Amino acid sequence: MRRELDSLVTQMHSSGIRYEDAVREFKRQYLREVLVANRGNQCKAADELGIHRNTLSRTMAELGLSLAEVRTGLKRPPRSERPVYGAVRQGFRQG
């Protein structure tokens, strides 16, 4: 992981990315990752990060990170698209 980070930093520096922009993007991606891992639950994410939930919420607002963006891929599919486990279970009981 250390080599990957060194490579990323070298790329960012050679591309002329400013320090403030690099830190902002890192924070945004890191918070997004933690929020996705906690299924958009801000309380659990803040606890994992070791910060207060209000601090997390304020930082998200400053970085333009919305919960709608985080939760986009986390929603359950509609019932019509979910697998039918009841029919599968009945098949096993009969056989």
Domain spans in the chain, listed from the N-terminal domain onward: 2-94
pTM of the full structure:
0.71
User: What is the phi-psi region of residue 48: left when phi exceeds 0, alpha when psi lies from -120 to 50, beta otherwise?
Assistant: alpha
DSSP 51: S
Per-residue pLDDT tens digits for 57-66: 999 999 999 9
Per-residue pLDDT tens digits for 32-86: 999 999 999 999 999 999 999 999 999 999 999 998 888 876 666 677 776 777 6
CA 36 to CA 41: how far, in whole Å?
Answer: 8
Torsional sign, CA 31, 66, 39, 75 = negative
**How big is the CA angle at 87 (ends 86 and 88), to the nearest 5 degrees?**
90
CA 77 to CA 80: how far, in whole Å?
Answer: 8
Topology classification of domain 2-94: Arc Repressor Mutant, subunit A (1.10.10)
